[in-house]
Amino acid sequence: MPRRIGFDRERYIALQSAHIHERRTELGGKLYLEMGGKLFDDHHASRVLPGFTPDNKIVMLESLRDELEILIVVNAKDLQRSKMRSDLGISYEDDVLRLVDVFRERGFLVENVVLTQHEDDDHAAHAFRSRLERLGLTVSRHRTIPGYPTDTRRVVSDFGLGRNDWVQTTRDLVVVTAPGPGSGKLATCLSQIYHDSRHGIPAGYAKFETFPIWDLPLDHPVNRAYEAATADLDDVNLVDPYHREAYGIEAINYNRDIDAFPLLQALLRTLLGTSPYASPTDMGVNMVGSCISDDAACREAAEQEIVRRYLRSRVREKKEALDPVESERIATIMADLEITDALRAPVQPARELAARTAAPAAALELPDGTVVTGKTSDLLGSSAAVLLNALKHLARIDEPVLLLSPDAIRPIQSLKVDHLGSRNPRLHTDEVLIALSVSAASDENARRALQELRRLHGCDVHTTTILGPVDESIFRSLGIEATSDPVYQVKKLYRKH
């Protein structure tokens, strides 16, 4: 169905920037603002809060641009694991460089990167540090602290936070962000407060974590979608016990913030003599819940996101031969909400077509709710077929009309098989789009179809076999949300992902 708007973007930008300014004024001195989730390209938020755009948070901060600087944090262990940003298909290393460029292009000050949990034998971290320094960035090293966060006496000492490098920032509002979760943003903020205090600089801490949304119920699909998004980290949403005790109000937070709260209080009491916060929820400055304009639309979008996360986790587990821990956690969330993967509109049509043809199939839901399908043929793979059929439908071209004639496709197949060594003669999505572009110069139907490409942004596609890297990349570039069943089209032991 057509996507309903459920979030008031302009209200959010005004309320959120004003609230951050207010918090900084209340605390006085330097403020370290931990930004949970993505500061830029927050596609998860834009999917579960229709109307929230991926750049909402950075646009909101632009009103404070001249008084803030951005500090980027990355976990050395994520570099060792070559961790990827699944939504962009790039490594955390490349995303750090991309973020620096994006922030600087928007006029933000970015000079410092922190490598957390960086030990002496972390060769990947050492290499990345050298690379960053050659590019003119200042890189600081934070070590793993034994007993963090529970052993507050050790953590708040020269043998804990005191062993970390001090990042010498120049602005009074420091936004701390990272390529992904688990990077050590909170520990970095605490380390900075510790070192600032030792240098006579008053400093405070606040957190902007989009999810979970503290003033939505624990079982709200938007909050459950956050659990699905972090199922690989085993994060759990909880009622904040400190907030309930202090105010008699149920507020939602997540386990890592609740677990770390005693440390933050101990640190602030040690450094300032008192803590300004009675609960983890107090630490937050999140105004997202106040900007939801259509709760039903957000619930529906969040349930769709949970299903997407479930299907993608099953594919990842298949590719990496992992136990189904992540997918089972998300399956539990789906059971709680009484939803199945059939909620995702293209899933059943794709599976039904695959069953009828005994071959891989695909289905794509268009903006008006229409679902088109694509089957495997001698000429086209199912992903390429569904892409052509979707463009044909959007351009109102009659179904019998061929956008690409077999005579145009066969020379490409010959090139692939006879000269480039490909074992699969069928055209992929990239080859279909190139062929369509060439045809558009002389064929009116091809030209009309090509003009509809932009309308595929935000559409959903499902394939009954795992997407190859080319088709996956094309769908991502077009802004199409793709999922697959955890089945390979061809059984192989070695795969190039």
Share of the chain above pLDDT 70, in %: 97
Residue 450 neighbours by CB under 8 Å, 6+ apart: 391, 436, 437, 440
Mean pLDDT for 349-353 is 98
> What pLDDT sits at residue 491?
60
User: Containing H/E element for 364?
Assistant: strand 361-365
How long is the chain?
497
Q: Tell me if 133 sits within 8 A of 139, measured CB to CB.
A: yes
Question: Where does 28-138 have alpha helices with state H?
Answer: 43-48, 56-61, 76-80, 92-105, 123-134
Token pair in block for residue 466: 């795992």
* Bridge-based pairing state of the strands 84-85 and 90-91: antiparallel
Return d(Cα 64, Cα 62) in angstroms, integer: 5
Instruction: Report the first-to-last Cα separation within the chain, whole angstroms.
Output: 33
HSE-CB of 253 using CA atoms within 13 angstroms: 24
User: Containing H/E element for 221?
Assistant: helix 221-229
Indicate the pLDDT class of residue 492, thresholds 50, 70 and 90: low
> What pLDDT sits at residue 484?
98
Residue 405 neighbours by CB under 8 Å, 6+ apart: none
User: Containing H/E element for 476?
Assistant: helix 469-477
pLDDT at 288 over 70: yes
DSSP lists the bridge partners of residue 176 as: 34, 71
Q: Which of 169-178, 418-427, 444-453 has the lowest mean pLDDT?
A: 418-427
Question: Where does 358-465 have alpha helices with state H?
Answer: 382-394, 406-414, 429-440, 444-450
Return d(Cα 446, Cα 428) in angstroms, integer: 17
Q: Tell me if 466 sits within 8 A of 486, measured CB to CB.
A: yes
Return d(Cα 236, Cα 184) in angstroms, integer: 18
Indicate the pLDDT class of residue 495, thresholds 50, 70 and 90: very low
Return d(Cα 10, Cα 159) in angstroms, integer: 46
Q: Comparing 431 with 112, which gets the higher pLDDT?
A: 112
Q: Please report, to the nearest 10 degrees, the dihedral formed by the alpha carbons of residues 412, 414, 418, 419 taken in order.
A: -30
> What pLDDT sits at residue 225?
97
> What pLDDT sits at residue 494?
42
Token pair in block for residue 429: 């999505």
Mean pLDDT for 354-380 is 95
> What pLDDT sits at residue 422?
74
pLDDT averaged over the chain? 91
Contacts 24+ apart (CB under 8 A), 154-160: 155/190, 155/263, 155/267, 156/194, 156/263, 156/266, 156/267, 156/270
Q: Comparing 79 with 490, which gets the higher pLDDT?
A: 79
Mean pLDDT for 425-440 is 88
Residue written as token pair 């136990």? 323
Q: Which of 189-198, 265-274, 465-474 has the lowest mean pLDDT?
A: 265-274
pLDDT digit string (tens) for 368-415?
Answer: 999 999 999 988 899 999 999 999 999 999 988 888 877 777 777 777
